Amino acid sequence: MTIFKGSGVALATPMKENGEVNFDAMEKMIEAQIAGGTDALIICGTSGEAPTLDDPEHLDAIDHAVKVTKGRIPVIAGTGSNNTAHAVMMSEESEKRGADGLLLVTPYYNKATQDGLYLHYRKIASATKLPCIVYNVPSRTGTNILPETMARLARDQENIVAIKEASGNISQVAKLAALTDGILDIYSGNDDQIVPLCSLGGIGVISVLANVAPRQTHDMVMFCLEGKWDEARKLQLKALPLVEQLFIEVNPIPVKAALNMQGFEAGSPRLPLTELTDAHKETLRKAMIDFGCL
């Protein structure tokens, strides 16, 4: 049950000056993504500042994305939590609002065992008919879901269909690909590793870079899927300076600054995140110009 192949944008959530979600700006961003060739929309993930959205805002953003997208590309709702019951509730509500899939980050801070992770994900997935993507990002959550656990979930729970792999450990990804052998879709969660993960059988990326460079990110994955490895490699290497700048401070601080530079009215991040420093704005601007997205 593949949800998408290609580039899925981890959409930043635009904010007004008063801190409210800017739904008009969100609509413009979504339309630009679709026009730019993006293959799926991921709403209210890490890049969407989900930890500082309250439940009504979170669900309103999902609802708005579904209505704006109108079925043109899949809408994948970020509903993960370190509280299993809360993740179940948000997943059920997102299904009611028309989401096409779910992105479920590994529980943060609790530091569950591998058995705990297995039970957590089965509990959530059993509460919905939607296809589920597990999001493995140990650098942010402090928890790494091991290939053996992921393979077990893919075998035992029909609607756990994919993983967003952001461990940065290529050896771990290779082992995961070997253990799952085609029963689990693998997406890169790191924009600097799109081509390496695709070379191991990955089918796409869930991307921060795509916020500001949708066409290039889409093309990079398509080159891989079409076997045009030289073209994919060149684009991956060309993107590296911009990717570095998009993570010069913690995500999504730089990408919101980049979107503002492009005129999308992304606004400021919510506390405890802060605005990008002026010095970093200048290096980010240069990288965007060099990559052709400003």
Segment 9-34, tens digit of pLDDT: 999 999 999 999 999 999 999 999 99
In a domain, 1, yes or no: no
Is residue 269, in this structure, part of any structural domain at all?
A: no
Percent of the chain with pLDDT over 70: 100
Task: Classify residue 91: in a domain, yes or no.
Answer: yes
Q: E strand or H helix at 146, and its extent?
A: none
Range of the domain at 44: 6-226
pTM: 0.96
**Is 175 designated active site?**
no
Planar angle of CA 206, 5, 241, nearest 5 degrees: 40
Per-residue pLDDT at 22 = 98
Question: By percentage, how much of the chain surpasses pLDDT 90?
Answer: 99
> Would 278 be classed as within a structural domain?
no
CB 52, CB 17: distance < 8 Å = no
CATH number of the domain to which 179 belongs = 3.20.20.70
Distances, alpha carbon 235 to alpha carbons 189, 213, 222, in Å:
17, 12, 11
Cα gap 172→239, rounded to integer Å: 24
89 is a domain residue: yes
H-helix or E-strand containing 43? strand 40-43
Mean pLDDT across the stretch 208-221? 98
Q: Please, what is the average pLDDT of the chain?
A: 97
| Strand stretches in 59-192, DSSP E | 75-78, 101-105, 132-136, 160-165, 185-188
The pLDDT of 203-216, averaged and rounded, is 98
- Whether the per-residue pLDDT at 1 is higher than 90: the answer is no
Catalytic residue among 164, 187, 256, 281: 164
Which of 108, 118, 121, 135 is catalytic? The answer is 135
pLDDT, mean of residues 267-283: 97
Distances (CA, A) of 275 to 34, 81, 248, 279: 27, 25, 12, 12
Determine, yes or no, domain membership for 284: no
Convert the pLDDT of each residue in 158-178 to its tens digit: 999 999 999 999 999 999 999
257 falls within a domain: no
Domain count, the chain: 1
Give the pLDDT band (50/70/90) at residue 73. very high
Give the Cα separation of 97 and 66 in Å (integer): 8
Whether 135 is a known active-site residue: answer: yes
Burial of 45 (0-12, 13-18, 19+ CB in 10 A): buried
Instruction: Give the mean pLDDT of 121-136.
Output: 98
Burial class (CB in 10 A: 0-12, 13-18, 19+), 58: buried
